Structure 1
Amino acid sequence: MTNACECGSGRTHRECHGHYFNHLDLLSPAVQEISSILGNSDFNAAIAVSHKREYGYGRLPESWVKDDVRHVRVNNITYKSAYWRTFNDFLFSFLQISFGRDWWQAERSKPLTNRHPVVQQFTQYEEAEKASSRGSSGLFSIEPSGPMAALMALAYDLYLCAHNEKIPKPLLERLKSAQHYEGALYEAHVIGIFARAGFEIAFEDETDKRQSHCEFTATNKGTGRKFSVEAKAVTSRSARAGASAEPPRLRGKLYDALLKQADHPRMIFIEINRAISPKESIPEWAPHFVEQVRQAEIDMMVGDTPAAPAYLYVTNRPLLVGGAKAKVGYEVGSAGFKIVDFPPERLRGIINMQRARMLHIEAYQVFQAMQQLSSVPNYFSEHPIASFLRSVHSEKRAKGFRHPLDAFDFLFRTYHGTDKNLLIEWMSDYVPPWELNGLNQLQLAELYCAGMAETMFADLHRTAR
């Protein structure tokens, strides 16, 4: 028998606020400061939090050293080498293993310009390594170009895919095709997002030609809700990619994604491959994104039917634009296509944002993972102290709350269990009693913390100015 959540949503506690608490480190990193956890002498909890912030909510890397040989377990297969000093060393080897040693060697034997893009990128990395010098630790320090970063990102995404589920054969075949490589590169990236966000991934049967399919089905481990996921990418060869003066065309990609058969609520990802301007506080593509989505909500039809609603995510990861001189960058955006309260920031007031977040907790969780888990770690998981120290350093650099919901989470963690009568007493001077008496304890706690958060967040930003 399952327990209903006290907020009255009709969902179980595990599906609702219980799930919310289980994922606070991803949803709101400001809530559980590692220094505060250490203040309670809970070193193991501090290590667990630091691991989540670096690796997310999928399976942690499993690695150990025996007789000076590094062992790494990927799902149920163990790989080993005496030459893997960093996690990146292993990832490069795993990339070659995934593509197949014979295929890799065959590509290496070709003239450089005829090689597959991923092998060209690896060659670029080797040349950069030769041109660099070793530091005191004996390791190379290289500033990666865009293509080199694409290579490392692909290696990590394939590892995440294999470690949490499996690498589907059709994905590998598309990756090996120079023509389909960039689209498959993006699909692997989206799979990596869901693996790190704590979703189970089930790939569609692409041999079934009776109907079209989305890329995969993602199941949230906390709520059990399933989503049909589709990924579309504007390639670097497009006339609208890079530094093009033409605005990005998102509508066509959205339409193509909506054509696919979906058995569950849709999550659609679109890569736009635009040059990143370091001078712009708001990405130049953002207004076009909003304008095109809002217009499509009004008039987009799929066949004879109005287009279905979807959670829409846009990424800008132009790693292959500009060749070897491409700059590394990552921008993200989200929108609710025919979903009026996603993202929660579309609503006014923290209490409304919180209620919208709980209604769309899985979609919010995905977007937070995109924002916070975009880098590739370079450490094996049995280095807990290093992971811990990096998290502490990151906390010292952070000032205040980044988002109004961070302030809410900080307060709600303390007051979510406060006695109902006490909450009513605290709010009675600000809210009419007849409005409070109809709320249960958890709803009262949300209302109280939202009001406090409004004041706290406003005061912090006035002080910052």
Structure 2
Amino acid sequence: MLQQTLPKGPDGIYSAEMTGAVRAYLGLAYDLFLSAHNAELPELLLTRLRNAQTFEGAVYEARVIGSLARAGFHIELEDETDSNRSHCELAATHKDTGRKFSVEAKTVTSLSSRSGASAEPPRIRNQLYKALCKQADHERMIFIELNRAGTGAPGEMPDWMQHIDAEIEQAEKDFTIEGRPAPPAYVMVTNLGAIHALDGTVFTDVGLACGFKIPDFASRTPARSILELVDARDKHLELHWLRKALNRQQTVPSTFDDRLPDEPKDSSLPRLLIGSAYLIPLADGREVPAVLTDAVVLEPERRAYGTYRYADGTHVICANDLSDAEMAAYKRSPETFFGIVKDVTREISEPLDAFDFFWESHADTPREKLIEFTSNWPDAAALHRLDQRRLAQVYCSRFAEHMWSRHARENPDLSNPYGTGKT
């Protein structure tokens, strides 16, 4: 056995960078845990995982089940032994909304000439067609894994995204099923990088969410403002939660309490903890205590943006620069950085992330308070005729526009300021 000397921390724990093999192993274990916790651990799935011929497809099906579970879906496996009709692999019902989907998962296997380090462009046409041919009792949701190596560095948009989007657009025009136009479907195209870097420590998972004959979903949303994006997302809310779950599933949680993995017991590392009070400067130079109600880290800016509530109920947004130690702690455990278990993305990567930051704090703000907060806005009279929910959406979207415009200025490589759909 090859042994390697690893650094030992002050707490006696050895640590090392995670390799692709370890990530794939832990990821599968976590997906199976999520499956068992959500509904059941299917014996047929375990059988397929033990078979080298069906292993690749089974691993991806486990990833799909884990993603759906994290997004709040209840999962029911279809009886694929029923030969009287074709079946999708599972049915997924969202626990909050009750909306139900028939789910099919397809993967390009390692036997394909387009897998791995192939020089050929990726294609999903065949997998998409096979999935659409399955009989479905509910709205369709299709997952397709590309199984490609070398698709770019973390944070970069791989060149295959535009190719896949164009392929789907062409399929919308071409596909017929039994002589009739193919049905609409939500399509999640993924590429899981760890399996192609088993001995490496640099890999990334990338995905594209798009609609097959659903023109206002994800990558195709023709929005000109954050508020228009919000309106489009509300029509497909369960899929938005799924996209966020796919993002979060790139890492397996390392801790579930409020202590950061890098933080020793006697640490003097300054902490921003949700629910704690801090002195916030006013315009006249005085400092007044305010409670941190929510916060988000923008990694490119190395800042934490926090929403603070004064004693009179008003809110203010403040930014804090983060030290190297704080950034390292955040990257290790973004879910617990602010002292609570909090579903977060690692950065604000699209306009809706900025909106959600403010929405978490103001979704339930009483209408009277929102009227008070917006009383000096130029269009206050028109806004004050709106109901609570719409007024809160407008209020949050305008703060989000300000945050996103600053983010876009500092990241000029953002080609589509209102683009969405990448996971």
Question: Structure 1 length as normaliser, TM-score?
Answer: 0.64
Q: Does the 8 Å CA contact 1:146/1:324 hold for their aligned counterparts?
A: yes
* Residue 139 (structure 1) shift: 4.1
Give the letter aligned to residue 441 of structure 1.
Q
Which residue does the alignment assign to 2:368?
A: 419
Which residue does the alignment assign to 2:164?
A: 289
CA deviations over 1:200-226 (Å, ceiling 9, x no partner): 111112222211111111111111111
**2 CA distance for matches of 1:259 and 1:450?**
40
Q: 1:216 to 1:392 in 2, by over 3 A?
A: farther
Which residue does the alignment assign to 1:385?
A: 259
Which residue does the alignment assign to 2:285?
A: none
Which residue does the alignment assign to 2:396?
A: 449
CA deviations over 1:255-289 (Å, ceiling 9, x no partner): 11111111111111111011232298220211111
* Residue 230 (structure 1) shift: 1.0
**1 CA distance for matches of 2:404 and 2:37?**
40
Q: Does the 8 Å CA contact 1:231/1:270 hold for their aligned counterparts?
A: yes
Which residue does the alignment assign to 2:242?
A: 366
Q: 1:166 to 1:134 in 2, by over 3 A?
A: farther
Which residue does the alignment assign to 2:130?
A: 256
Question: Structure 2 length as normaliser, TM-score?
Answer: 0.69
Query: Map of 1:313-328 to 2, 5 A cutoff?
Result: 313-321=188-196, 324=199, 328=203
Please say if 1:403 is aligned against 2:278.
no
* Residue 336 (structure 1) shift: 1.2
Which residue does the alignment assign to 2:106?
A: 232
**1 CA distance for matches of 2:230 and 2:118?**
39
Q: Name the SS for the 2:86 alignment partner.
A: coil
The alignment-based identity, stated in percent, is 41
**2 CA distance for matches of 1:384 and 1:322?**
32
Q: Name the SS for the 2:115 alignment partner.
A: coil
**1 CA distance for matches of 2:102 and 2:188?**
13
**2 CA distance for matches of 1:452 and 1:392?**
21
Q: Does the 8 Å CA contact 2:153/2:204 hold for their aligned counterparts?
A: no
**2 CA distance for matches of 1:328 and 1:392?**
30
Please say if 1:135 is aligned against 2:11.
no
Q: 1:284 to 1:420 in 2, by over 3 A?
A: same
**2 CA distance for matches of 1:324 and 1:387?**
24
Q: 1:456 to 1:430 in 2, by over 3 A?
A: farther
Q: Does the 8 Å CA contact 2:367/2:387 hold for their aligned counterparts?
A: no
Give the letter aligned to residue 343 of structure 1.
A
Give the letter aligned to residue 94 of structure 2.
N
Q: Does the 8 Å CA contact 1:320/1:326 hold for their aligned counterparts?
A: no
Please say if 1:178 is aligned against 2:126.
no
Give the letter aligned to residue 418 of structure 1.
R
Which residue does the alignment assign to 1:329?
A: 204
* Residue 323 (structure 1) shift: 6.2
Please say if 1:267 is aligned against 2:214.
no
Which residue does the alignment assign to 2:173?
A: 298
Q: 1:177 to 1:411 in 2, by over 3 A?
A: closer
Which residue does the alignment assign to 1:19?
A: none
**2 CA distance for matches of 1:395 and 1:326?**
24
Please say if 1:169 is aligned against 2:43.
yes
CA deviations over 1:22-72 (Å, ceiling 9, x no partner): xxxxxxxxxxxxxxxxxxxxxxxxxxxxxxxxxxxxxxxxxxxxxxxxxxx
Q: Does the 8 Å CA contact 2:371/2:384 hold for their aligned counterparts?
A: no
**2 CA distance for matches of 1:224 and 1:388?**
40
Structure 2 gap ranges (5+) = 265-270, 274-295, 306-347, 413-423
* Residue 326 (structure 1) shift: 8.7
Q: Name the SS for the 2:196 alignment partner.
A: coil
Q: 1:326 to 1:140 in 2, by over 3 A?
A: closer
Q: 1:324 to 1:279 in 2, by over 3 A?
A: closer
Give the letter aligned to residue 176 of structure 2.
M
Which residue does the alignment assign to 2:72?
A: 198
Give the letter aligned to residue 131 of structure 2.
A
* Residue 307 (structure 1) shift: 1.2
Between Structure 1 and Structure 2, which shows a larger proportion of strand residues?
2
Structure 1 gap ranges (5+) = 1-126
Give the letter aligned to residue 167 of structure 1.
L
CA deviations over 1:388-447 (Å, ceiling 9, x no partner): 9799698485546443223333444337533399389759844995x975x433223323
**2 CA distance for matches of 1:338 and 1:427?**
43
Q: Does the 8 Å CA contact 1:423/1:448 hold for their aligned counterparts?
A: no
CA deviations over 1:74-108 (Å, ceiling 9, x no partner): xxxxxxxxxxxxxxxxxxxxxxxxxxxxxxxxxxx
**1 CA distance for matches of 2:7 and 2:48?**
36
Q: 1:279 to 1:329 in 2, by over 3 A?
A: closer
* Residue 293 (structure 1) shift: 0.9
Q: Name the SS for the 1:319 alignment partner.
A: helix
Which residue does the alignment assign to 1:156?
A: 30
Please say if 1:356 is aligned against 2:232.
yes
CA deviations over 1:356-375 (Å, ceiling 9, x no partner): 11111100000011112321
Please say if 1:342 is aligned against 2:289.
no
CA deviations over 1:232-274 (Å, ceiling 9, x no partner): 1112232111221101111111111111111111111111011
* Residue 156 (structure 1) shift: 1.5
Q: Does the 8 Å CA contact 1:427/1:448 hold for their aligned counterparts?
A: no
Query: Map of 1:30-179 to 2, 5 A cutoff?
Result: 127=1, 130-133=3-6, 135-136=8-9, 137-179=11-53
Q: Name the SS for the 1:206 alignment partner.
A: coil
**1 CA distance for matches of 2:261 and 2:180?**
50
Q: Name the SS for the 1:200 alignment partner.
A: strand
**2 CA distance for matches of 1:321 and 1:462?**
35
**1 CA distance for matches of 2:259 and 2:243?**
28
Q: 1:219 to 1:278 in 2, by over 3 A?
A: same
Query: Map of 1:201-220 to 2, 5 A cutoff?
Result: 201-220=75-94
Q: Does the 8 Å CA contact 1:190/1:269 hold for their aligned counterparts?
A: yes
Q: Name the SS for the 1:354 alignment partner.
A: helix
Q: Does the 8 Å CA contact 2:122/2:160 hold for their aligned counterparts?
A: yes
**2 CA distance for matches of 1:427 and 1:450?**
17
Between Structure 1 and Structure 2, which shows a larger proportion of helix residues?
1
**1 CA distance for matches of 2:298 and 2:374?**
37
Report how many aligned residue pairs link the two structures: 334
Give the letter aligned to residue 205 of structure 1.
D
